[in-house]
Amino acid sequence: MTADPAIGAQKDMDTKGTKSMHEEITLGGGCFWCLDAVYREIKGVEKVISGYSGGSMANPDYEKVTTGLTGHAEVVQITFNPRIITQEKILQIFFVIHDPTTLNCQGADIGTQYRSIIFYRNQKQKDVIDKVIGELKKEKVYENSIVTEVVPFQSFYAAEDYHQDFYKKNKQAGYCQFIINPKLEKFKKTFQDNLKN
């Protein structure tokens, strides 16, 4: 199943009948369960879907993606309201909750499917991405070089149902306890003002 690859922000009608703006951005930074768990907690984020982007195969499944042969990265596709949270803030959170300096891995998750990658939908998004990465480099936030790929969005395939909102459904699982919980705690301490109620 491919998401609508339309470029740019989408206009919708909210419950009061007034126009509201929605934007999408697709991010990969290791296992998609981690990013999914964090972005669901953010005020202004309206939808998070775990899935696959950046590969050559149509309609990939988890089993094929984990081989690393399809070229896809595990990603989350985020729909957000820029009147509530900016793309810049979305990216600042992204760079706090994963290590953008490790090539094709995050911790014990190793392979191109776990690469650090951002898919942009228009020049405006790319300009913001370049700005955020430029600031991180200028401030020397990381000891090593940032290896995050920045590429145009082409297609997105939603992952299987059991991957969606994985953390909430499996909080007692070892991966959730030892990998996701520390990322969530770090995020919550650093971005308290951006938390949902």
Residues catalogued as catalytic: 31
d(CA 65, CA 84): 34
d(CA 34, CA 176): 8
Q: With CA atoms as reference, report the closest residue to 53 among 148, 125, 118.
A: 118
d(CA 188, CA 191): 5
Contact call for residues 84 and 196 (beta carbons, < 8 A): no
